[in-house]
Amino acid sequence: MSPSQPLQLWLITDNKPGHRNQLEGLTNALAELMPIEVHRYEASLTLSARFKTIVTMYKDVRIKKPDLIIAAGHNTHLLLLIGRFLFGGKSIVLMKPSLPLSLFDMALIPQHDGHFQQNNVISTLGAINKIKPCQTHDKNKGLFLIGGPSKHHGWNSHQMAEQIETIIDGAPDIRWKLTTSRRTPGDFLPLLNHLKTKLTITPHTETGPDWLPDQLCESGFVWVSEDSVSMIYEGLTSGASTGLLEVPILKNGRIQQGIEDLLTAKALYRVNDWPNKTVIPKPTLHLNEAQRCAKLILKHFNYVE
């Protein structure tokens, strides 16, 4: 590839929002460093659909071969490796793969999924995302990001609503917004009806692709329910002061230990640790994992010095 030619990226997705978010974050970061050309492919579960995808790849490769083939999601691994074998390019998987690491040219693996000594692994602090650090945080604006029950966390809608009311009552001058997720139980939002004069609620079904990045850039305070690990790291990446809304913990594992490490480092704080409800605790951690990984990838594969 000559310096004047764009880097050819093939992205393979299972269309899950979190995985699309990872792919978009890395793609945007690569685009900031050098010219790129992107082709997107879907890893369907059916054999006929996968065959059609491979045929599409074959048509595309007759025009330009891929430089990097990047995939996120367990269902994308086989198609990623087939594409790499048939059409060339370097294979990059954005998670701890379900297949041996030696099969991939590079893997970006969150620290909470384990530590690996292989030279084809980049360890990340949380999953990469498309959020960028911002300098426009307003101490008079606050944001609540609400998840729901998961395999690692339970849920108590009344307890969550009480925490939110405590925060709002403690900082009445802040203009608060709240959004939910697909996992948020249906009994939760009615518990906030009495706060409607103090809290603007936008259900996740009413948010567009730019809603969350825009709100994270504007908000001085971000409170995330502890089950929403990806949104915790998005809050930290934005540079906002990020707090945790507590939920019952069902399983203590690597993910929970990662959260505890952030609390110990004072990168996060809980409701009871908020020292002054009108002063924003300064973030102690400055994250931009997508940009860091993009630079390492380009250097590893000798696209930059």
> How far are the Cα atoms of 81, 139, 212, 232 from residue 168, in angstroms, in the given order?
50, 14, 20, 20
> What's the whole-number mean pLDDT along residues 37-63?
88
Q: What is the pLDDT of residue 255?
A: 82
For 74-130, write each residue's pLDDT tens digit: 999 999 999 999 999 999 999 999 899 999 999 999 988 887 888 999 999 989 999
Report helix, strand or coil for 235.
helix
Q: What is the pLDDT of residue 117?
A: 81
Q: What is the pLDDT of residue 286?
A: 85
Pair (96, 155) in one structural domain: no
Pair (201, 253) in one structural domain: yes
Domain-located, residue 281: no
State how many domains the chain has.
2
Pair (69, 186) in one structural domain: no
Domain-located, residue 1: no
> What's the whole-number mean pLDDT along residues 216-239?
94
> What's the whole-number mean pLDDT along residues 176-191?
96
User: Which domain does 225 fall in, by range?
Assistant: 138-273
Domain-located, residue 282: no
For 257-292, write each residue's pLDDT tens digit: 888 888 888 888 888 777 666 666 777 788 899 999
Contact 185, 160 (CB under 8 A): no
Pair (81, 120) in one structural domain: yes
Domain-located, residue 269: yes
> What's the whole-number mean pLDDT along residues 5-29?
94
> How far are the Cα atoms of 69, 195, 231, 289, 296 from residue 292, in angstroms, in the given order?
18, 41, 19, 5, 6
Computed over every residue of the chain, the mean pLDDT equals 91
Domain-located, residue 278: no
Pair (216, 246) in one structural domain: yes
Domain-located, residue 166: yes
Q: What is the pLDDT of residue 289?
A: 96
Domain-located, residue 280: no
Pair (109, 203) in one structural domain: no
pTM of the predicted model as reported, rounded to 2 decimal places = 0.90
Helices (H), the chain: 17-33, 47-61, 77-87, 157-170, 211-218, 229-238, 254-264, 289-300
pLDDT at residue 254 above 90? no
What percent of the chain shows pLDDT beyond 70? 96
Pair (24, 101) in one structural domain: yes
Contact 22, 131 (CB under 8 A): no
Pair (98, 186) in one structural domain: no
Neighbouring residues of 260: CB distance < 8 A, sequence distance ≥ 6? none
Pair (268, 142) in one structural domain: yes
- CA proximity to 223, closest of 235, 207, 237, 215: 235
Pair (63, 146) in one structural domain: no
For 125-170, write each residue's pLDDT tens digit: 989 999 999 988 998 999 999 999 998 899 999 999 999 999 998 8
- CA proximity to 137, closest of 209, 237, 269: 237
- Position 220: which residue type? G
Pair (16, 55) in one structural domain: yes
A 10 A CB-CB count for 191 gives: 15
CATH at 151:
3.40.50.2000
276: left (phi over 0), alpha (psi -120 to 50) or beta: beta
Q: What is the pLDDT of residue 14?
A: 92
d(CA 171, CA 166): 9
CATH at 49:
3.40.50.2300
Pair (253, 160) in one structural domain: yes
Contact 156, 245 (CB under 8 A): no
Domain-located, residue 279: no
Q: What is the pLDDT of residue 280?
A: 62
